Amino acid sequence: MGIDLYQRTWFITFVIVIFQYSNGVAGSERAPALFVFGDSLVDVGNNNFLSSIAKSNYFPYGIDFNMQPTGRFSNGKTFVDIIGEMLGVPYPPAFADPNSVGVKILGGMNYASAAAGILDETGQHYGARYSLSRQVVNFESTLDQLRTMMGSNVTNFLAKSIAIMVFGSNDYINNYLMPSIYSSSYTYSPSEFANLLLNHYGRQLLALYSVGLRKFFIAGVGPLGCIPNQRATGQAAPGRCVDYVNQILGTFNQGIKSLVEQLNNRPGAIFVYGNTYGAVGDILNDPSTYGFSVVDKGCCGIGRNQGQITCLPFAYPCPDRTQYVFWDAFHPTQAVNSILARRAFYGPPLDSYPINIQQMTLFN
């Protein structure tokens, strides 16, 4: 499958055109389920059930999501909410929610946890969270339930399902770039730290593959030096991103792409790298083209760049969220999430390598 995946990309594109023509509309074959692993960028409420200060279960979070907070760190939908809509699957429920049992898990599950990282210690100053390794263990408990419900059909179900992985941001923001709490920046050079993350990441991806998942979309880390939280540190001139922070992410993102190439050599595997850094960079470099006018401050937050203190309960957010790239000190708006989702789903190899999510669904 590894070599074929690259050689047959042109063929899959051709198949999509025929598929769309024959159906009269653009669309994709429906994946049976979506399994989401990650951090606050894709958390849908797991941290609501944990002893953590990293929570967003209060207004104005969710102001554009039926006017109610759910635990999503956004004004509206997350990246995976929109991907799920494109796939035609219901929003995967939060694993930690005690109601996430029975038929509710047949469309997948969301294990993402705010402050979580690839490394177990990342984000520990926020309290409880599901790290990457814990999320893999949690998935295995879901798998036990699925086996009970589906029997031998679970193998085919998992092979056709899609796993989305969104990790790495906290390993920098809430570990490497926080030397007052974590020693990692004294112990490792930026490239050494990136390789440490990649080694841990690779092992957990193989663990998920070994229990039956086959289709993975792995998002890279965006330009963290441009988020309001980092701009607010004063390490860069007004209107500028913190270049050092962006530069140290290069080894990690390139490493994810290389890891994808290696993992695609495994039987039946389809691993895809999402170029989050490039997609967000395009928006920041030419915001008006994408409909944005504010790129350097949060819609909801306090202090310099509305990024020194993140969005507090019942704070007044900006009135027009569609004009803002960032919702709070750390997270993008629903408008940005929509762009990222479309590029992951339909984009060329520069956005989604070596194939996009829509193409991924055409492999049985």
Single out the catalytic residue among 40, 56, 161, 352: 40
Q: Which residue has the tokens 């310099």?
A: 304
Backbone dihedral region of 306: left (phi > 0), alpha (psi from -120 to 50 degrees) or beta?
left
Among 169, 166, 171, 191, smallest CA distance to 122 is for: 171
CB 75 within 8 Å of CB 310: no
Q: Which residue has the tokens 């929509």?
A: 338
64 given a catalytic annotation:
no
Single out the catalytic residue among 28, 328, 351, 352: 328
User: CA 146, 140, 106: angle at the middle one, nearest 5?
Assistant: 30
Strand blocks (E) in the chain:
34-38, 108-110, 162-166, 215-219, 270-274, 294-298, 301-302, 309-310, 324-326, 352-353
40 given a catalytic annotation:
yes
CA dist 49 → 108, 119, 331 (Å) = 19, 21, 21
Per-residue three-class SS string for 136-178: HHHHHHHHHHHHHHHHHHHHHHHHHCEEEEECCHHHHHHHHCC
Return the structure tokens found at 65: 């999501």
Single out the catalytic residue among 161, 169, 331, 352: 331
125 given a catalytic annotation:
no
Write the CB contacts of 216 (distance below 8 Å, at least 6 apart in sequence): 162, 163, 164, 165, 205, 208, 209, 263, 269, 270, 271, 272
Q: Name the DSSP letter for residue 204.
A: H
Write the CB contacts of 291 (distance below 8 Å, at least 6 apart in sequence): 322, 323, 335
CA pair distance 17, 15, nearest whole angstrom:
5
Question: Catalytic residue numbers?
Answer: 40, 328, 331
